[in-house]
Structure 1
Amino acid sequence: MKSFCVKAPAKINLFLHIVEKKETGYHLIEGLFVFANLSNFLEIKVGEKDFRYDNSIVEFVNSELRISNKYNTIMRAINLLLRYAPVRAKVTVKVVKNIPIAAGLGSGSSDAGAVIRTLGKLWEIEKSILNEIALSVGADVPASVDSKPVLVRGIGEELHPIKEFSLPTNVVLVKPKKKFLSTPEVFSKYAGNFSKPIKWDGNAERNLLKLLKETRNDLQKIAISLVPEINDMILALESQKGSVLSRMSGSGVACFGMFDSEENAKAAAANIRDKQPEWWVCDTQLIV
């Protein structure tokens, strides 16, 4: 048996534009994804040769909501990866959930990305195949395989790695403890005008903060209409000393605040946690 202990870092959407809707119902997006030190922890064990088709096991620990052990992003990734494994093997995954789920922080996507990254390397599966598997599991999963700053386009399959990361790396994450949002529900309610694709070149990459301030999260108004506290969280983050930029991440209830120093980020987190005990608050750093 082979055993691996890996991290699945939180994903933060620094901006999210909806640029088109296909006849299939899929929305084409454009966004800047970054990843944080806040992580789920996965213990992945790969057993000996086993020809049964229902033998893999996934166990979740510390999750806010109950997650099916059979129908989840990890199990979908394992079943697809096993088609390319040298032998049919039993895979057991134990997940300690530290990233809130249904919050726009990619908790499930990052879990799947970590499994694809780990088993793909173990079984020497080609990168192009891993990308196809990741997209089959979920739109955010391709970016979560490498978990590095990236501009994402299409339905999540078009990745442009960020070579010059020029943003502050200290962030504070906030969400209501008992509020969740469904990604399909939020996207289904989007009826606004489509955003024009941004001009992405070397100048844009060198001036990421300027670019961010010219962008937005197209799903934010819809999410606020469903969970008004999102607006309160953004205002709370913006009011803190050293605040650089605050908005909602992805299609969930979590919001991020970017700060100019670790000291100000920690102070902001403490202030918000003290005033809003019903909110989950976490200060962390971006992985660059």
Structure 2
Amino acid sequence: MPTTSVFAPAKINLSLHVIGQRTDGYHLLDSLVAFAPVGDMVSFAPGRGLSLRVSGPEAAGVPVDRSNLVLRAAELAGGSDLAFHLHKALPAASGIGGGSSDAAAVLRGLGAALDPEALTRLGADIAMCLTPHSQRVQGIGEHCARVQLPPLPALLVNPRIEVATPAIFKALSQKTNAPMPAQLPQFNEARACIDWLATQRNDLQAPAIAQAPQIGALLDVLAALPGCHLARMSGSGATCFALFSTQSDLQSAEAKLRATHPQCWIASGVLGDQTELARPSACH
């Protein structure tokens, strides 16, 4: 059996509206999601039992036991006697779906189809990460509808702090906020899309900044970069993104930020459909 490798792209919440809360505690969302051409890589080959090895620049502290979503996804999919290797390039607990995207990569690689309830138990973000193209995500993450967005040049930055998602949701004072419009506009180019996104929200951004003021400081830095049209936090943080009209503007801004903020995790790319990049590939 050959080694199978599957790319796990970063998930970016371009908007994230919290519009309610269920009686079981799950929050109801209305979010516009896109994927970046940067991410982790999950590989697996025949082994004895289920095992996991982690390497890469962001491997420190990543568990290799059953608490890792890679192994939990493999178990739910009925996988056995597989040795997994996770090359970790995305910072953990950073609001860009690293663990969920890793789990989704496992499911794609094994060709497994889990029912929506099983996916939700595994993780609310996994359903959207299974098909890494631009989409509108509603409910608690189980309702995903593909949308067409123009390519969006983006700078991704994490200030090297972790914020706890449950604490951010708990700190959200208003949990019945307005959703996005029922019908989303059609966009022909990046600038029009970014201008519209600026009228939307991430409802978790304010409570995250209240708990970690470094996020607010980083957003101010990103917003001041030449050519930046929108700076916002992704998910529950702490990763933030800046959107640009052109790749040349993005490249100039990235070079400037790397020079002034070498302590940050920084990546860049064009947000959009990463379906082809995320297809499983096999090699002997």
Short-chain TM bin: 0.7 to 0.9
When residues 204 and 46 of structure 1 are mapped into structure 2, their CA distance, relative to the original with a 3 A threshold, is: farther
Q: Which moved more, 1:67-76 or 1:226-235?
A: 67-76
Q: What is the CA–CA distance in structure 1 between the aligned matches of 2:196 and 2:27, rounded to whole Å?
A: 22
In structure 1, the residue corresponding to 2:70 is in which secondary structure?
helix
Q: Which residue of 1 aligns with 2:32?
A: 32
- TM-score, normalization by structure 1: 0.87
Q: Does 1:217 align with 2:202?
A: yes
Shift in CA distance, 19/46, structure 1 to aligned 2, threshold 3 Å: farther
The Cα offsets for residues 85-143 of structure 1, whole Å up to 9 and x where unpaired, read as xxx631221000001111111110100011111112xxxx5x5x354443221011001
Matching residue's letter, 1:61: S
Bigger relative CO (Cα 8 Å, ≥ 6 apart): 2
> Displacement of 1:152 after TM fit?
0.3
Aligned twin of 2:126: 141
1:196 aligns with 2:178: yes
- 1:71 pairs with 2:67: yes
- The 8 Å contact of residues 194 and 243 in structure 2, kept in 1 or not, is answered as no
Q: 1:269: how far off?
A: 1.3
Cα contact 1:113–1:134 (8 A) shared by 2: no
Q: Report the Cα offset of residue 172 of structure 1.
A: 0.5
In 2, Cα distance between equivalents of 1:195 and 1:45 = 46
Q: Percent identity?
A: 31
Q: What letter is aligned with 1:215?
A: Q
Whether the aligned pair in 1 keeps the contact of 2:5 and 2:109 (CA below 8 Å) is: no
Q: Residue in 2 aligned with 1:241? A: 226
Asked if residue 159 in structure 1 is aligned to residue 144 in structure 2, the reply is yes
> In structure 1, how many angstroms separate the alpha carbons of the residues matched to 2:61 and 2:256?
27
1:169 Cα deviation after fit: 2.0
Equivalence for 1:183 = 165
Aligned equivalent of 2:155: 172
The aligned counterpart of 2:100 is 109
Which deviates more, 70-79 or 93-102?
70-79
Q: Residues of 1 paired with 2:195 and 2:144: CA distance?
A: 21
In 1, Cα distance between equivalents of 2:6 and 2:121 = 22
Give the 5 Å matches for 1:36-47.
36-46=36-46
Quote the Cα distance in structure 2 between the aligned partners of 1:72 and 1:171: 28
What secondary structure does 1:89 align onto?
coil
**In 1: Cα distance, 2:5 partner to 2:115 partner:** 20
The verdict on how the C-alpha distance between 1:222 and 1:259 changes in structure 2, with shifts beyond 3 A counting, is: same
Aligned residues: CA RMSD: 1.9
1:171-220 per-position Cα deviation (integer Å, ceiling 9, x unaligned)? 1011113x11121221122222521222232x524464354122111011
CA contact (8 A) 1:273 1:280 kept: no
Q: What amino acid is aligned across from residue 148 of structure 1 in structure 2?
A: H
**For residue 22 of structure 1, what is the aligned residue in structure 2?**
22
Q: How many residues align?
A: 267
Question: Residue in 2 aligned with 1:60?
Answer: 54
Query: Greater helix share, 1 or 2?
Result: 1
Normalised TM-score (structure 2): 0.88
Please tell me whether the aligned partners of residues 8 and 110 of structure 1 are also in contact (alpha carbons under 8 angstroms): yes
Alpha-carbon separation, structure 2, partners of 1:215 and 1:156? 18
Name the SS for the 2:95 alignment partner.
Answer: coil
Change (3 A) 1:161 1:253: same
Q: Contact (CA 8 Å) 2:94, 2:162: kept in 1 or not?
A: yes
Aligned match of 2:11:
11
Q: What SS does the aligned partner of 1:76 have?
A: helix
| Residue 64 to residue 252, structure 1, CA distance change in 2 (3 Å) | farther
Q: 1:6-45: per-residue Cα shift (whole Å, max 9, x none)? A: 1000111101111001111111111111110111111122
